[in-house]
Amino acid sequence: MSDRDLLMIPGPIELEPSVLAVLGERQRGHLDPVFMKRFSRVLKGLREVFRAPTAQPFVLAGSGTLAMELAAANLVQPGEAALVVNTGYFSDRMGLALTRHGAEVAHVRSPPGAAPSLDEVKKALASQKFKVMTVTHVDTSTGVLAPVQEYAALAREAGVLSVVDGVCSVGAEALDMDAWGVDCALTGSQKALGAPPGLAVLLAGPRAMAAWRARTQPVRSLYLDFGEWLAIHEAYEAEKPSYFATPPVNLLAALDVSVGLILAEGMPARVARHVRMANAMRAAFKAMGLTTLPVSEGLAAHTLSALYYPAGVDAALVKAVAAQGVVIAGGLHPELKTKYFRVGHMGAVGANDVLATVSAVERALVASKAAVEPGSGVAAAERALA
């Protein structure tokens, strides 16, 4: 393995050099004016990335899973019902987080690679009085992109708060909290936001904040309570000193640089770039005879591809591709774990990365005697990128 190998897993991802550079700057204090300005810019910038001009952003030291639990902890009180629109491993996880905070959880499920239909979700929403409905925008385990806009509209109709787990989508997939009526969305720093891992990011819209304010029971965690963080985040946004727990200064500096790059590119252009790169990846994999785990093109994410191993090939492929200089990931969904692999393509991803990845997979497949026409994948990627 070389330090110049390409990191193409669905997070952590290759970072822009300027994001890495700011990480190694001398240590600043959490009340340093330069840091306060950065944190302020992060909070304001996230509203643009999530398209949520009236939402309250929270950025905490933690993983994407902590962000998921942050939503669960604050938006549901013990005994209240939550509907999980379940598209895989991470939807199951959201259900587990909700359960820990006392919610009564119901799932509307689909087979791996699919997503519940709008009718199924509508029916589920009508089956009892739910407080919240959660959706995994992109399930990192299956590469399924859920129709969040349509689901959110159904939740709104039913008077149910919608929570979007955007861990593998925000900063790459189209998302418009405001226009779509999404009440809460969240992610981790190491995915399409293009920063290192270690930050939990959540935006709570006005209805979500109102639901939190109307609680009659305390949040079952100190660290996860909006109430401990709200004034702190308001102060940092105004570049004023404040303290609850020490913010992860260095990671926030990196996120500041990355959010700056995202806004400079512009979200529509960034979404379009991800679509282009995903299409090129998929054209190449299709030309190599591989089948995606998502059962239709419309259900396939633009941040990662999940692909079944072809006949005669197994999980050893991941190591064989690494030996070609590109790091990809194995399967994660418990039912199919050994049957598929995953390639991330988000953040700073460009045509060079697509070509290198497609070629590394192709070379590894050819070496493993899979029925792949040498050069077919790279040729298809080139055509798609032309």
Cβ neighbors of 268 (< 8 A, separation 6 or more) are none
CB nearer a copy of itself, residue 190 or residue 292: 190
What single-letter DSSP state applies at residue 246? -
In the complex with a copy of itself, which residue's Cβ is closer, 80 or 115? 80
Binding segment for a copy of itself (CB under 8 A), chosen from 23-31, 131-139, 156-164, 255-263, is 23-31
100 binds a copy of itself (CB under 8 A): yes
- Restricted to residues 25-64, the positions that interact with a copy of itself (CB under 8 A) are 25-34, 60-64
With beta carbons less than 8 A apart as the criterion, state whether 195 and 258 touch: yes
First-to-last CA distance in the chain?
31
CA dihedral for 35, 39, 40, 41, sign (positive or negative):
positive
Within a 10 A sphere around the Cβ of 71, how many other Cβ atoms? 28
Q: Does 14 bind a copy of itself (CB under 8 A)?
A: yes
**Judged by CB under 8 A, does residue 143 bind a copy of itself?**
no
Distances in Å between the Cα of 305 and the Cα atoms of 4, 220, 342, 343 are 22, 37, 6, 5
* Closest approach of a copy of itself to the CB of residue 12, in Å: 5
Nearest to 346 by CA among 383, 310, 313, 305: 305
Min CB(42)–a copy of itself separation in Å: 14
Q: Is 319 or 383 the residue whose CB approaches a copy of itself more closely?
A: 319
221 binds a copy of itself (CB under 8 A): yes
DSSP letter for 20, please. H
Q: Are 254 and 195 in contact (CB under 8 A)?
A: yes
User: Nearer Cβ to a copy of itself, position 197 or 325?
Assistant: 197
210 vs 245 by CB, closer to a copy of itself: 245
Residue number, 32 or 297, with CB nearest to a copy of itself: 32
CA distances from 152 to 17, 27, 85, 295, 306 (A): 37, 42, 11, 22, 25
Stretch that binds a copy of itself, among 49-57, 103-111, 191-199, 255-263 (CB under 8 A): 191-199
Per CB under 8 A, does 356 bind a copy of itself?
A: no
Q: Is 79 in the site for a copy of itself (CB under 8 A)?
A: no
Residue 145 C-beta: closest distance to a copy of itself, Å: 20
Question: Comparing C-alpha atoms, which of 96, 113, 60, 85 is closest to residue 246?
Answer: 60
> Among residues 325, 331, 384, 318, which one has the least CA distance to residue 359?
325
The pairing of beta strand 144-145 with beta strand 138-139: antiparallel
DSSP state of 239: T
Examine residue 15 and tell whether it contacts a copy of itself (CB under 8 A).
Answer: yes
Nearer to a copy of itself, 1 or 386 (CB): 1
Residue 232 as a binder of a copy of itself (CB under 8 A): the answer is: no
CB of 4 to a copy of itself, least distance (A): 8
Segment lying near a copy of itself (by CB under 8 A), choices 18-26, 142-150, 151-159, 209-217 = 18-26
222 binds a copy of itself, rule: CB under 8 A: yes
The minimum distance between CB 92 and a copy of itself, in angstroms, equals: 11
Residues near 145 by beta carbon (within 8 Å), at least 6 away in sequence:
137, 138, 169, 173, 294, 298, 299, 300, 301, 302
Chain residues that interact with a copy of itself, rule: CB under 8 A? 1, 3, 7, 9, 11-15, 20-21, 23-34, 60-66, 69, 73, 93, 96-97, 100-101, 188, 190, 196-200, 218-225, 243-251, 327, 329, 332
